[in-house]
Structure 1
Amino acid sequence: MAKTAAGTPTAARKPARTATAPKQPAVTAAGGGPAVTTAPVSGPGVTTPTGDGPTGGGPAVTAAGGSGAAGPAVHGEGPLEVAVSPGVDAADRERLLAGTHHSPHSVLGAHPVPGGVAFRVFRPYALSVTLVTGDLRAELHADGQGFFSGLLPLRDVPAYRLEVAYEGTVQQTDDAYRFLPALGELDLHLIGEGRHEQLWKALGAEPMTHQGVTGTRFAVWAPNARGVRVAGAFNFWDGTGHPMRSLGSSGVWELFVPGVGEGELYKFDITRPDGSHTLRADPMARRTEAPPATSSVVHASHHEWDDAEWMARRADRPAHDAPFSVYEIHLPSWRPGLTYRRLAEQLPSYVRDLGFTHVELMPVAEHPFGGSWGYQVTGFYAPTARLGTPDDFKFLIDALHRAGIGVLMDWVPAHFPRDAWALAEFDGRPLYEHADPLRAAHPDWGTLEFDFGRREVRNFLVANAVYWCEEFHIDGLRVDAVASMLYLDYSREPGQWTPNEHGGRENLDAVAFLQEMNATVYRRAPGVVTVAEESTAWDGVTRATHHRGPSGFGGLGFGLKWNMGWMHDSLQYMSHDPVHRRYHHHEMTFSMAYAYSENYVLPISHDEVVHGKGSLVSKMPGDWWQQRANLRAYLGFMWSHPGKQLLFMGQEFAQGAEWSEAHGPDWWLLDPAYGAEADHRGVRDLVRDLNAVYRATPALWERDVHPDGFEWIVGDAADDNVLAFLRRDASGSPLLAVSHLAPVVRADYRVGVPDDVPAWAEVLNTDAGRYGGSDVVRPDPVKPEPQPWHGRPASIRLTLPPLATVWLRPA
């Protein structure tokens, strides 16, 4: 027997004739649904009912092209069973209208029933719905309130489409409720276990071809919701007709919507436990509207990466044993008005010219309030749309990699804002935040803390860290506000926090989360480094997670940690007038007492040059010449001190004003018309030379985390304001750094040195005239004398420039 395109058996092709089906009794569906409604059907070889069928039945329809002669009915292997009502019963109607149906696919769509196949469609505001399958067309009965139904005497469910008529327009589309779930059992199992390391591929909006039809699969985790619907521009922001199905006990709701593609705006209409509704942005959205708009955007990446060489070699050397000099940037204000793609034209060349090995981007994940600088994130999986699309952001990273520059980004898993369209009480109850209000509310920032003990929340964050590394080729994550996660009593008074199960103040859930995050990132993304902004003496921040320390905790597993103590102490010392520095000498030496307790970064970050703290140069005492000289000397000390370096934008050319996100660095200061040659350009040229010598001198970075890479020559010359030490590389080759932080010239200053170096040559002097200094430099090598000094068998005599740092290497 032949079949039509839709797969329906037909007799051999003959002139179409009108056929009269046997009359079937009207049957009321369970739950009080409408009587049997058989659809008016047109098409060759179809059994159609007569017009005197049940109430609501359509009249007999002449098959397409027919002349009214009778034709054969559809024959099966036996008589049709007693038909049932195809309509949606009252209880299901009520739940669908209220947005509280957990299984709309079990009601809507096509379902084999006694008497044929029942078709049920829910299209609010539609005037009519016609079912189209192959050559067949069947107008469904309007049951009211946007419901349409019909019973076709078919043996199997055909492939079909819907033709929906609205006021002034007709749309033809596939029925979203004829598709199987587009989310696999393994995905659901991993989500339930909190172990889905590529969660963004399972949840969110994923454009795809499913069962041969193109569209977008929407999936969201909302375990407390009574129902979830998709609302977007494609349904005029009324999600009533697009309810999602609940996938078992996973808490995940899913719906494949045919015809919805890239660029569509959407949100989730969530029915809370109390029956009220809330419209929420997708927590997993990979693209968003530009703020202040808040919709999520369906996105698929089309960027083709061109950084294979960089990616292949970035894991050759771990960060703590490699040159690591970081330029911290706030992208929206670096040069205001530039998009990601325009930044890609300017930023790589600028950073490469200055010699930094990496950039660190202040948070780029979407955030509603620009004044937060990105530290109050609502779109954890979406780069901010202020500067372009996710592919535009990839283009920028690609350009940096091709220029030989690594990319770190600030990552903010500690907290999130309370915006009513975002994560706070996402499905009507605390979900991403802790259920205990004392644990949920962050006391400093008016935000909410994540519930690190909930496996799905931990999964959301761990997968997010992996996402930026895998999808955007990010080379490192600087994790913000780690201390606020680690301590239950962080910024809380007695009575405002509850001890952990051992009676301590450590947040055990946060510890476990950070360990899992680090272990997962290092396993999945070779060559990536994680950096902790951690301001306390927590033991083992950069220790491996499987190594336990004296505290009994395993290490947190970070690769590097910001040295906040060094930053605070050294800036405090530099702020004193040189005549008083002798009383604060320990502030420059104390860091070496703990320098090897962790793998450190020395951070002069945005936090130190905002909110009334002044710029870096303005922290220095004295007149303008002395301020710049102090700054140059400080930078020379910083670049030679054990640890990696980080400098915030604008400080590389001694910007006088503190940073403002509204206008960014004062680039005009580099214009020669403003006398910048000796002032600001000189400091910038010093930073360039510091990086050049640093990268070419393994002694300054190869043994950063090993005590044998550092030796004090003189650390107690407080009255002279002098610090001198040796740095050594893995072969023992030394570099001698001498910082003289008094505004006088000291001639014939004797410094002890090893006796195995025949001569020392000056390779960098921050007092050089080209940097704006007094040009007290030594162009010729200096030979050691056999006079022991500072506990060394030999010594050299130097003329120490005022307020300067000098580096010498074996000639």
Structure 2
Amino acid sequence: MTAELPLWERQGAFPRPGADGTDFHLWAPNARAVTVFGDFDQWHGQAHPMTRGADGIWSATVADAGPGTHYKYRVTGADGVVRDKADPLARAAQCPPETASVVTAPSSYVWTDDEWLARRAETDHTAAPMAIYEVHLPSWRPGLGYRDVARELADHAVAHGFTHVQLLPITEHPYGGSWGYQVGSFFAPTARLGTPDDFRALVDHLHGRGLGVLLDWVPAHFPKDPFALGRFDGTPLYEHADPLRREQPDWGTYAFNLGRPEIREFLIASAVYWCRQFHLDGLRVDAVAAMLYLDYSREPGQWRPNARGTHENDEAVAFLRDLNDAVHRAVPGAVMIAEESTAWPGVTAPTARGGLGFDYKWNLGWMNDVLAFVAHPHAERRRAHERLVFSLTYATAERFILPLSHDEVVHGKGTLWTRLPEGSQRAAGVRALLAYQWSHPGAKLLFMGQEFGQRDEWSDVRGPDWDLLDDPQHAGIARVVADLNRLYRTYPALHALDGHVDGFSWLDATDTTNSVIGFLRLGPAPSAPGHTVACVFNFSTRDLYDYRLGLPYPGRWREICNTGAADYAGLGVGNLGGVHTEPVPSHGRPVSARLTLPAESAVFFTPDPTGSR
């Protein structure tokens, strides 16, 4: 083993060619003794003591171990306590609730996505549409494994126009109710759904259908289960040595010691491993804010400032920069996404300019504000109007993803459907909300079930209520999502300048009386077809007729979307395919048009190239 090899080729279990056994290598620098045990010794734990190297790596060769063998390490810690541990570098694990590691041979999977990878490496993803379908794979179609679910998931995502699928963590985890966020094995796909090669087949199939694949990845913390990383060699090895920095109080877990080079290497190797070995197109890094701040979820006296006397976690900042640079070097075209909920500056700025180096940041401010707005009774929405429009004042401060994610449909929060005021217009409200998300600057993310207005909260043990698609109201929401994605991908105005101030211009932001807003989305060549789209929203319960709105160009404007259309189970109120401008200045624009705005709806217009300008 040489230091030039990646970590996953230096540590872990490596079956020798033929029937010559398996080599085991484990980092446990403070352990007094280590034995590898498993199927090959009937789990007695005494027959195969390991030898410690000067670098703290323990090694042994077991003649009777080969691919498929289950094993663990029995570690006598520096504290004298004997602990049975899973292999931190295992590439496969037993299906929970069992917790042993599994010896795996090098993958024999034959990939078919060379063209996809080559195209990904050459694509400027910041100028391309990104509409992400977020999926908890075990509950999307309960009972289906990686290979079985591949075709159905691809069919569904493609039919609804998504560009990417993002998987909640499928890194092996002991407790299904954690949805994968308490990781027990940072290199193994969960055995609940199949083998590592089965997961490769899923990714390959999605690529073949034109879908990128992203993975939720969790470097902020790890669970305290006895078999896992905690006090691995009788010392706080993976977790922080400082008791005030050792735990994540929100989740009852350990926090990684990001100041230790070996831990940074372990986590960065995990990130690169997933992207390289499984051809993933990027990672969504969970709980970044919990890493960045020493006082995150801690009261005074429960945290210690840094050397400057402030609350920034300098070790985490350095780690995140190294992480993003390493993934971008190792995996051309991969995207790194931060779930970061504060105003930390430069999350998506390059590391060379002092940023963290992510490609995108979840816009949780937009999510909180827009959900708070639509939850207001219609008669009170004028008082919440600022929450509807505020995000557009900072929409280009970072490269954002607009998430309506799994976090918003659990723990008593309801769903998009139930957050809206009760009444006959709930479906219309969901359609208008989704249209606002799709027209607002930023990439899009929607959790499974919300694409058709799931009514019940999500549970990790039951799937979406697919039978709702037999209801015209819910089928109409699904058709809106498919059509919004079609427009999003077709019209450069809706994606090409997402991160630029030139890609957005207000038409009307102040009509609180009618709960109406309107804005322009602009592409790089506004005079070209598809490079100008006017997006207008009526969030009131009244149809508005002859609503005058200023527009930048004279002539006919074609209606390309009306979420109140009969095709979506709306009432069919609209503009008969388009409107004509009049030489009447309005809203600071040289011409204007009289629009019909259906209640609780969105209408989009684009200049008609066949009409007069």
Aligned equivalents of 1:657 and 1:752: distance in 2? 41
Matched, 1:298 2:77: no
* Shift, 1:415, TM fit: 0.2
Q: What displacement does 1:259 show?
A: 4.3
Letter in 1 for 2:367: M
2:408 to 608, 620, 631: 608
Q: Once the 2 structures are TM-superposed, how far is the Cα of residue 274 of structure 1 from its aligned partner?
A: 3.6
SS for the counterpart of 1:782 is strand
Q: Is the partner of 1:714 in helix, strand or coil?
A: strand
Q: Report the TM-score when normalising by structure 1.
A: 0.73
Corresponding position of 1:530: 336
User: 1:689 — aligned with what?
Assistant: 483
Aligned to 1:759: 556
Q: Secondary structure at the match of 2:518?
A: strand
Shift of 1:312: 1.0
Counterpart of 1:264? 69
Matching of residue 513 in structure 1 with residue 312 in structure 2: no
Distance in structure 1 (CA, Å) of the matches to 2:588 and 2:544: 21
Partners of 2:254 and 2:37 in 1: how far apart? Answer: 26
- 1:64-143 matches, within 5 Å, as none
- Partner AA of 2:552 in structure 1: P
Q: Deviations over 1:172-203 (max 9, x none)?
A: xxxxxxxxxxx23x35xxxxxxxx6x211111
| C-alpha distance in structure 2 between counterparts of 1:275 and 1:766, whole Å | 67
Q: Following superposition of structure 1 onto structure 2, how do residues 576-655 of structure 1 map, counting pairs within 5 Å?
A: 576-623=376-423, 625-655=424-454
**1:469 and 2:275 aligned:** yes
Distance of 2:344 and 2:160 partners within structure 1: 34
Does 1:736 find its partner at 2:544?
no
Separation in structure 2 between the aligned mates of residue 201 and residue 345 of structure 1, nearest angstrom: 32
Q: How many residues align?
A: 603
Residues 254-277 of structure 1: CA distance to partner in whole angstroms, max 9, x if unpaired?
223234211000111111124332
Measured in 2, the distance between the counterparts of 1:449 and 1:328 equals 26
1:762-806 CA-partner distances (Å, limit 9, x unpaired): 111100111111111223332211111100011111111111001
Residues 80 and 234, structure 2, Cα contact 8 Å, conserved in 1: no
Residue identity in the other structure for 2:447: F
> What's the counterpart of residue 362 of structure 2?
562
Q: 1:27 matched to which residue of 2?
A: none
1:253 aligns with 2:52: no
1:386-425 aligned at under 5 Å gives the runs 386-425=192-231
Q: Is 1:352 aligned to 2:161, yes or no?
A: no
Counterpart for residue 172 of structure 1: none
SS of equivalent to 1:798: strand
**Cα contact 2:399–2:442 (8 A) shared by 1:** yes
Gaps of 5+ in 1: 1-182, 188-195, 548-553
Asked if residue 572 in structure 1 is aligned to residue 380 in structure 2, the reply is: no
Q: Which amino acid aligns with 1:265?
A: H
| Paired position in structure 1 for 2:115 | 309
Deviation at 1:217, TM superposition (A): 1.5
SS at match of 2:73: strand
Please give the alpha-carbon distance, in whole angstroms, between the structure 1 residues aligned to 2:184 and 2:64. Answer: 28
Q: Single out whichever of 791-800 and 778-787 deviates more from structure 2.
A: 778-787
Which runs of structure 2 are paired with 1:168-247 in the superposition (5 Å)?
183-184=1-2, 186-187=3-4, 198-209=6-17, 214-247=20-53
Aligned to 1:241, the other structure's residue is in SS state coil
Partner of 1:50: none
Structure 2 partner of 1:775: 572
Counterparts of 1:773 and 1:345, CA distance in 2: 32
**Alignment match, 1:369:** 175
* Cα distance, 1:320 vs structure 2: 2.1
Q: 1:490 and 2:490 equivalent?
A: no
State the match for 2:611 in structure 1.
none
1:88-133: per-residue Cα shift (whole Å, max 9, x none)? xxxxxxxxxxxxxxxxxxxxxxxxxxxxxxxxxxxxxxxxxxxxxx
Q: Which amino acid aligns with 1:808?
A: F
Kindly indicate whether residue 125 of structure 2 is the aligned counterpart of residue 331 of structure 1: no
Contact 2:16 2:23 in 1 (8 A): yes
Q: Partner of 1:461: helix, strand, or coil?
A: helix
Aligned to 1:750: 548
Aligned partners of 1:214 and 1:774: how far apart in 2? 72
Distance 1:571 1:274, change over 3 A: closer
Do 1:477 and 1:531's aligned partners in 2 also have CA atoms closer than 8 Å? yes
Q: Is the 8 A contact 1:329 1:359 kept in 2?
A: yes
2:550·2:589 contact (CA, 8 Å) conserved in 1?
yes
CA shift at 1:525, angstroms?
Answer: 0.4
**Residue equivalent to 2:258:** 452
Matched-pair identity in %: 53
Q: CA deviation at 1:441?
A: 1.3
Deviations 1:416-470 (CA, angstroms, capped at 9, x unpaired): 0001111000011100000112110111111000000000001000111000000
Letter of the structure 2 residue corresponding to residue 441 of structure 1 = E
Q: Secondary structure at the match of 1:809?
A: strand
> What do the CA deviations read for 1:366-415 (whole angstroms, capped 9, x no partner)?
00010000000011100000111111111111110000000011000000
TM-score if structure 2 supplies the norm length? 0.97
SS in 2 for 1:458: helix
Match of 1:117 in 2: none
| Structure 1 residue identity aligned to 2:584 | Q
Q: Say if 1:319 and 1:559, in contact at 8 Å, map to a contact too.
A: no
After TM superposition, give the deviation of residue 556 of structure 1 in Å.
Answer: 0.6
Q: State whether structure 2 residue 148 is matched by structure 1 residue 342.
A: yes
> Equivalent residues in 2 for 1:22-37 (5 A)?
none
**What's the counterpart of residue 670 of structure 1?**
469
Contact 1:271 1:278 in 2 (8 A): yes
Counterpart amino acid of residue 456 in structure 2: A
Q: CA RMSD in A?
A: 1.2
Q: Determine if contact 2:79/2:235 at 8 Å carries over to the other structure.
A: no
| Higher relative contact order, structure no. (Cα contacts within 8 Å, ≥ 6 residues apart) | 2
Secondary structure class of the residue paired with 2:34: strand
Q: Is the 8 A contact 2:27 2:56 kept in 1?
A: yes
Instruction: Tell me whether 308-317 or 485-494 shows the greater mean CA deviation.
Output: 308-317
Counterpart-to-counterpart distance in 1, 2:368 and 2:144: 33
Deviation, 1:213, is: 6.7
In structure 2, runs of 5+ residues without a counterpart are 609-613
Residue of structure 1 equivalent to 2:520: 726
SS of 1:371's equivalent in the other structure is: helix
For 1:20, the equivalent position in structure 2 comes to: none
Q: Contact between 1:531 and 1:562, CA under 8 Å: does it hold in 2?
A: yes
Q: Is the 8 A contact 1:570 1:587 kept in 2?
A: yes
What amino acid does structure 1 have at the position aligned with 2:574?
V
Partner of residue 289 from structure 1, selected from 91, 94, 102: 94
* Partner amino acid, structure 2, of 1:701: H
Q: Contact between 2:40 and 2:64, CA under 8 Å: does it hold in 1? A: no
Amino acid at match of 2:448: M
User: In the TM superposition, what is the alpha-carbon distance from 1:317 to its structure 2 partner?
Assistant: 2.4
Distance in 1, matches of 2:488 and 2:196, equals 34
> Match of 1:269, SS?
strand
Does the 8 Å CA contact 2:19/2:66 hold for their aligned counterparts?
no
* C-alpha deviation, 1:660, in angstroms: 1.0
* Structure 1 counterpart of 2:206, one-letter code: L
